[in-house]
Amino acid sequence: MFKETIDFIRGLYNHKEFVPLHEPFFNGNEKAYLADCIDSTFVSSVGKYVDSFEQSMVDFTGAKYAIATVNGTAALHISLLLSGVGREDEVITQPLTFVATCNAVSYIGAHPLFIDVDLDTLSLSPEKLEEFLVNYTEQQDGLCKNKVSGRTIKALVPMHTFGHPAKLKELSELASTHNITLIEDAAESLGSYYKNKHTGLFGAMGTLSFNGNKTITTGGGGMIITNDEGIARRAKYLTTTAKVPHIWEFYHDEVGYNYRLPNLNAALGCAQMELLPKILENKRSTARKYQEFFKKMDEIDFIAEPAECESNYWLNAIVLENRETRDSFLEATNRNGIMTRPIWKLMNRLPMYRNTWSGDLENSEWLEQRVVNIPSSVR
């Protein structure tokens, strides 16, 4: 079984000696735009490419506003602040995620609460969320209060795992009913749609990431997308060190953050956005080939896009029979030059979040022992 899979992946990627998990794809105007940016001398956070990159994201996603940031974690941090999350507040999220989701909560001095995921989406479960909200929260003066901790629950942050959209209709309805702000961690889901609407646009804000291993990259970088003009204006202000606009004066009227994306990185992003439709088409083609291949194997299941969704298939993933089989697969593939990796260790197992409240995490624990990411680069 392992040898057959290794041979298939090698063939898929033209029999390369080493097949990475996900490498960036540069096949357009990247060098030309970078050179133009350098020639302009505007390489920091002011320049035409920042504006162009933000506009290209508006055009692609359908958001009314896009605010570029230095990375996806910064975008999430600012989004949480804009949603009113403060010290000692609580934020509901999922344990099956990249650590940046929880770190952004911790930067504020707030506390994450972990709700289980669904097996079909790998993202936060509306059913488990509703169970928690009914049993452990109450409404006080228009705020959602945790009856156990006494803290206010300010935000709900589902993460679209590997680019597969969460059940956003149900999650947004629950957030609205319980007076909680929905913020989508869409770091992995650029080019993914739920009910024909781009991820990141179902809550007050959505955040994107353009790290070197993402669908498109700016080297490092992130984005806040929103349909709220007030949020967009304040996001740009806070990420630009809270500087009051003036031709020559430097005046800052509150604590801000140096989170704006440099023009140099945005130049790379502009070229990548031109390639995005081609990248997404190629990635869906790769996913179809994987899906057909793994149909023949009873021991391995390929994770396909959920119902009513169009996933970007950022990272393709498979589910093996148990942890022992998973570890054997990881050993065999990596030893033979095929880069694979397990899913993240659950957040509640990490030392800094070990004492965080968690509900029944049966699905998350089951997935943690079985899921493996396989090569997903553009071919």
Residue 310 domain-assigned?
Answer: no
What is the average per-residue pLDDT within 323-347? Answer: 97
Residue 114 domain-assigned?
Answer: yes
**Is the per-residue pLDDT at 1 higher than 80?**
no
Q: Are 312 and 283 in contact (CB under 8 A)?
A: yes
**Is the per-residue pLDDT at 113 higher than 80?**
yes
**Is the per-residue pLDDT at 282 higher than 90?**
yes
> Can you give the CATH number for the domain in which 193 is found?
3.40.640.10
**pLDDT for 214-260, tens place per residue?**
999 999 999 999 999 999 999 999 999 999 988 899 999 999 999 99
pLDDT band (50, 70, 90) for residue 330: very high
Q: Are strands 137-140 and 111-114 parallel, antiparallel or unpaired?
A: unpaired
Element (H, E) at 80: helix 72-82
Residue 41 domain-assigned?
Answer: yes
Q: What range does the domain containing 92 cover?
A: 30-274
Residue 165 domain-assigned?
Answer: yes
Q: Are strands 309-310 and 111-114 parallel, antiparallel or unpaired?
A: unpaired
- 157, burial (CB in 10 Å: exposed 0-12, middle 13-18, buried 19+): buried
Within a 13 Å sphere around the CA of 193, how many CA atoms are in the beta-carbon half? 11
Total domains, the chain: 1
Residue 320 domain-assigned?
Answer: no
Residue 90 domain-assigned?
Answer: yes
Residue 350 domain-assigned?
Answer: no
The mean of the pLDDT values for the chain is 97
**Is the per-residue pLDDT at 298 higher than 90?**
no
| CA dist., res. 68 & res. 221, Å (int) | 7
| CA dist., res. 19 & res. 186, Å (int) | 26
* Per-position b or e across 37-66, b if 16+ CB within 10 A of its CB: beeeebbebebebbebbbebbeebbebebb
| CA dist., res. 160 & res. 171, Å (int) | 12
